[in-house]
Amino acid sequence: AQSVSQHNHHVILSEAASLELGCNYSYGGTVNLFWYVQYPGQHLQLLLKYFSGDPLVKGIKGFEAEFIKSKFSFNLRKPSVQWSDTAEYFCAVTPSLGGSYIPTFGRGTSLIVHP
């Protein structure tokens, strides 16, 4: 079974600072990778996803993530955060072929951006 680890549980930044949230997964085969965001009081929504092709994926609101297969990582980045980016961020993984098709979510990283 696959697993996902998000190392940073809480991140506090000032506006305009750069952001990088770590996500590592464990699974022996090929995977699909996702980042979801949950704004305060709201439901989870997709930020970006990687299925295949260019390992650098661009999502909404200026976010991007890079899949590094050798490191089993899919870190989320944003060059300059805004106060409105305050939210909980979840990394998720599903096998591309075979295995358990049920997505596995990380525990989430809480981001607070000070204005």
Partner 1 sequence: DAGVIQSPRHEVTEMGQEVTLRCKPISGHNSLFWYRQTMMRGLELLIYFNNNVPIDDSGMPEDRFSAKMPNASFSTLKIQPSEPRDSAVYFCASSAGNGIGETQYFGPGTRLLVL
Residues that bind partner 1 (CB under 8 A): 32, 34, 36, 42-46, 49, 51, 90, 94-96, 100-103, 105-108
Name the minimum Å distance from CB 102 to partner 1: 5
Shortest separation between residue 18's beta carbon and partner 1, angstroms: 26
Cβ-based nearer residue to partner 1, 17 or 38: 38
Evaluated on CA atoms 6, 47, 53, 97, the torsion sign reads positive
Closer Cβ to partner 1, 17 or 44, answer by number: 44
Nearer to partner 1 (CB atom), residue 12 or residue 46: 46
Task: Decide whether 43 or 70 has the Cβ nearer to partner 1.
Answer: 43
Radius of gyration of the chain (CA): 14
Residue 106: CB minimum distance to partner 1, A: 8
Sign of CA dihedral 24, 27, 31, 36: negative
List C-alpha distances in Å: 95 to 38, 44, 66.
23, 21, 18
Identify the residue whose tokens are 């506090």.
12
Closest distance to partner 1 from the beta carbon of 37 (Å)? 11
What distance in Å separates the CA atoms of residue 40 and residue 43, rounded to the nearest whole number?
Answer: 8
